[in-house]
Amino acid sequence: MTAAVSVQNVHKVYNNLHVVNDLSLTIKPGESFGLLGPNGAGKSTTIRMLTTLSQPCEGHIVIAGYDVQRQATEVRRQIGVVLQQTSVDGDLSVWENLELHGRMHHIPNPQRQRRIAQWLEFVELSDRRDDKVKTLSGGMKRRLQIARALLHDPKILFLDEPTVGLDPQTRRRLWEIIRSLNQQGMTMLLTTHYMEEVEYLCDRIGILDRGQLIEVGTLQELRQRHGEGIVMKQQGDRWEYLFFPTLQDANAYLDNQPNKTGMMTRPSNLEDIFVELTGRNLD
């Protein structure tokens, strides 16, 4: 089976700064992959290269069987892209924005009208179809971006920090939309620095730090690799974390301590693993 996304030894250098450093990654059709990393890790740069907006300095990227450098037009037909900066036109109405995108992709009528109506319904914006986009909330604009990215029937959806800056309720609503698309068979790659986002949405997670992919696997695999149980020890004003294979092991360690003051156990999470690997927090 052709990989949905195949990245081999990709490098990107800006002003002598190695922003993406030897990135290799394969995503299967139908998979939901989350690229997790702190600000400046190289997530947006990676998405820009995968979506033909920027060229790698070295390495190969193949999307749905097409080379991003030699077959960029074909790649663009296969992908939907939702970037961080809202790229919808505020002075046009919701419907007009979609109409414009549909025409750019040469979707003929009446199919174009049908698809616009269908995706507006899906992202719950049908009742705002005639409103100017500048009157929409941040979450609505993001939903419009998703509808627009889906209009030309792409196979793979790329989402760069899709819920950044949105309130928790709006974020959850977007998660439902994104999850439902994946359940319908859409392959997706999303970047985020919210660990709950990848935990909720992604089959597999890649941790990106300083341009390097330092860990890849399912959440369960990562927890098994690093330890499923944690003992937290308060040391002055900071916490020290000890990993144990299971929560039971962590509890057994705590039970054996003569002085348990300032100590507690809990299951490990992605953020613990990230901090353990990089010595830094995600935010």
- Given the rule CB under 6 A, which residues bind ligand ADP? 14-15, 19, 37, 39-45
Q: Between 43 and 142, name the residue whose CB sits nearer to ligand ADP.
A: 43
3-state secondary structure string across 157-173 = EEEECCCCCCCHHHHHH
- In the complex, minimum distance from the CB of residue 39 to ligand ADP, in angstroms, rounded to a whole number: 4
Rounded CA separation 271/6 (Å): 27
Looking at the DSSP bridge assignments, the partners of residue 242 are: 231
* Of 50, 64, 2, 41, residue with least CA distance to 189: 50
- Is the CB of residue 36 less than 8 Å from the CB of residue 207? yes
Least separation in angstroms between residue 199's CB and ligand ADP is 19
Closest CB to ligand ADP among residues 187, 191: 191
Q: How far is the CB of 34 from ligand ADP (least distance, A)?
A: 13
Note whether 207 and 281 are within 8 A (CB): no
**Minimum Å distance from CB 57 to ligand ADP?**
12
Q: Which is nearer to ligand ADP, 6 or 84 (CB)?
A: 84
Q: 44 or 268, CB closer to ligand ADP?
A: 44
Please, which residue, 2 or 281, has the CB nearer to ligand ADP?
281
In the complex with ligand ADP, the residue whose CB is nearer, 19 or 156, is 19
Rounded to a whole number of angstroms, the minimum distance from the CB of residue 241 to ligand ADP is 24
CB of 22 to ligand ADP, least distance (A): 15
Q: How far is the CB of 91 from ligand ADP (least distance, A)?
A: 27
Pairing of strands 58-63, 66-67: antiparallel
CB 207, CB 37: distance < 8 Å: yes
Spatial CA neighbour of 11 closest among 159, 187, 213, 214: 213
Which ranges in the chain belong to alpha helices (H)? 43-50, 72-78, 94-104, 111-122, 138-150, 168-183, 195-201, 219-226, 247-255, 270-278
Q: In one letter, which amino acid is 75? A: V
Nearer to ligand ADP (CB atom), residue 40 or residue 267: 40
